[in-house]
Amino acid sequence: MHKPMSEASISLEPADDRLIYLDYASGTPVDPMVTAAMQPWLTGVGSAANASASHRIGQSAAAACVRASEQVAGLVNASPDEIVWTSGATESINLALLGAARFQSERGRHIVTCVTEHPAVLKTCDELRRQGYDVTVLPVDSGGLLSIDAFVAALQPDTVLASIMHVNNETGVIHDIDSIGMVCRDHGVLLHVDAAQSAGRLPLDVRAQGIDLLSLSAHKLYGPKGVGALCLNRQRSRRVEPLLFGGGQQRGLRPGTLPTHQVVGMGQACELGADHLSTEPAKVASLRDTLWMNLQQLDGIQLNGQADQRACHILNVSFSGVDGESLLLALEDLAVSAGAACTSDGAEPSAVLRSLGCSDTQASSAVRFSLGRHTSAEEVEQASMRVVGAVTRLRTIAEPLAQQT
């Protein structure tokens, strides 16, 4: 379990050159081209411009936001007017689930989701359950995959909404969204997809894949923190009930002054994601596979998640005889995660890994490595050596202690 740090122990300076960043699933570095696109809206009169204002600089800000909507829409084959700006994927998920469920409540109050979803989905479903909705949470197999047959069997006459993530944030396992979307279309069920980990790494097409509500986050694809989007497929879902009320911006779906610099940054990040889609995932997958191959010189390690149905950037490994938190402390110059960044402060082992059948010991010894656009082959080799060395040392320390007990 992480210990709280005093203010004096927390460095606010950038990490030194020894740090190797392999936590891209938690957050990605802002791309220099994104920073450049944001800059005009962070200084001078551009920083003051309100996209709701009617004067010239306000109209310029509004035009920049429209252009950003076009860039996001281009990544997922949507229309620009289907993009709703939010503060991030968590808000997008809340707006999608709460908003769609409430709008559809007269038609039905049954929702289907999966046990390995992000807490933003599961906790929102808990809230809907408290409001009188019926929620079915489906299990996964030992590889982390959801059975399509089980999904079909869970649908009821009053099912109005399903929420299934595209790529799992802890294991990288890819759900078959194409098949799930087809099932939802056939049964008249709206489909929400959390695409925070897949955007810019896998092709996304809300039309072809039958996705009605799609949640995105800028800081998962080399954009700034604090901004995200909900894509609302108007061919299938006319509206969601808003969570916020105010000046009526964004057709009242999510009112409030748009943060022009963040919106522009996310738009640029999505355009870059589309541009890199044909080459970057293969490069990242090759580096991930090299890392896994290098780690296999250790005995007693386990790959968590389906080996042949994973996104390019995530590698989740359990190391027997080693506690994951202890390993992270031993790897002070390697930025990795003992679990999802939003849940790793808890003392409980990963619920996602336990749902795959991992024991508490296996789940507690797991480390998530995640690679990205700026990861180099040299960094992978250096990281491999550091992990092998740290695991070996920790096991050497642990063995005499185990014999004493």
Domain of 73: which CATH number?
A: 3.40.640.10
Q: What is the pLDDT of residue 234?
A: 86
Does residue 404 lie in a domain region? no
Q: To which H or E segment does residue 282 belong? A: helix 280-295
Domain limit, last residue, from 276, 308, 339: 276
Q: What is the pLDDT of residue 90?
A: 97
Q: What is the pLDDT of residue 15?
A: 52
Instruction: Locate 391 and state its tokens.
Output: 């695991």
Helices vs strands, H then E, count in the chain: 13, 12
In whole angstroms, give the CA distance from residue 109 to residue 159.
6
Q: Are residues 229 and 288 in the same domain?
A: no
Return the exposure string of 93-102: e unless at least 16 CB atoms fall within 10 Å of the residue's CB, then b. Answer: bbbbbbbbbb
Tell me, what CATH number does 374's domain have? 3.90.1150.10
Per the structure, the count of domains in the chain is: 2
Q: Are residues 19 and 121 in the same domain?
A: no
In whole angstroms, give the CA distance from residue 262 to residue 87.
9
364, 362, 352: which is closest to 140 by C-alpha? 352
Query: 140: phi > 0 → left, psi -120 to 50 → alpha, else beta; which?
Result: beta
In whole angstroms, give the CA distance from residue 27 to residue 22.
10
Q: What is the pLDDT of residue 338?
A: 85
Q: What is the pLDDT of residue 323?
A: 85
Residue 40: count other Cβ atoms within 10 Å of its Cβ: 17
Q: Are 166 and 202 in contact (CB under 8 A)?
A: yes
Query: 250: phi > 0 → left, psi -120 to 50 → alpha, else beta; which?
Result: left
Full domain range(s) for residue 307: 15-30+278-399
In whole angstroms, give the CA distance from residue 26 to residue 332.
17
The partner residues of 138 in beta bridges, in order of sequence, read 114
Instruction: Please check the confidence at residue 10 and state whether its pLDDT lies above 50.
Output: no
Residue 81: count other Cβ atoms within 10 Å of its Cβ: 14
Note the pLDDT tens digit of each residue in 347-364.
Answer: 578 999 999 999 999 999
Note the pLDDT tens digit of each residue in 84-105.
Answer: 999 999 999 999 999 999 999 9
Return the exposure string of 192-212: e unless at least 16 CB atoms fall within 10 Å of the residue's CB, then b. Answer: bbbbbbbbbbbebebeebbbb
* Confidence bin at 143 (pLDDT 50/70/90): very high
- Strands 301-303 and 314-319, by their bridges, are antiparallel
In whole angstroms, give the CA distance from residue 140 to residue 149.
12
Q: Are residues 298 and 164 in the same domain?
A: no
* 3-state secondary structure (DSSP) of residue 18: coil
115, 334, 85: which is closest to 226 by C-alpha? 85
300 to 165, 389, 399: CA distances (angstroms): 30, 14, 14
Does residue 130 lie in a domain region? yes
Q: Are residues 245 and 299 in the same domain?
A: no
Does residue 210 lie in a domain region? yes
Note the pLDDT tens digit of each residue in 287-344.
Answer: 999 999 999 999 999 999 999 999 999 999 999 999 888 899 999 899 999 864 445 4
| Single pTM value for the model | 0.92
Q: What is the pLDDT of residue 324?
A: 83
Domain limit, last residue, from 252, 276, 300: 276
* 3-state secondary structure (DSSP) of residue 372: coil
Q: Are residues 230 and 289 in the same domain?
A: no
Domain limit, last residue, from 246, 276, 306: 276
Q: What is the pLDDT of residue 160?
A: 97
Note the pLDDT tens digit of each residue in 186-201.
Answer: 999 999 999 999 999 9
Q: What is the mean pLDDT of the chain?
A: 92
Query: How many angstroms separate the first and last alpha carbons of the chain?
Result: 23
In whole angstroms, give the CA distance from residue 24 to residue 336.
9
Q: Are residues 125 and 247 in the same domain?
A: yes
Does residue 390 lie in a domain region? yes
Q: Are residues 242 and 350 in the same domain?
A: no
Q: Are residues 379 and 316 in the same domain?
A: yes
Note the pLDDT tens digit of each residue in 202-242.
Answer: 999 999 999 999 999 999 999 999 999 999 998 887 789 99
> Which residues are marked as active site?
342
Instruction: Locate 172 and state its tokens.
Output: 């990288």
Note the pLDDT tens digit of each residue in 11-61.
Answer: 445 555 689 999 999 999 999 999 999 999 999 888 998 999 889 999 999
Q: Are residues 166 and 197 in the same domain?
A: yes
What φ, ψ does residue 158 adopt, rounded to 5°?
-100, 15
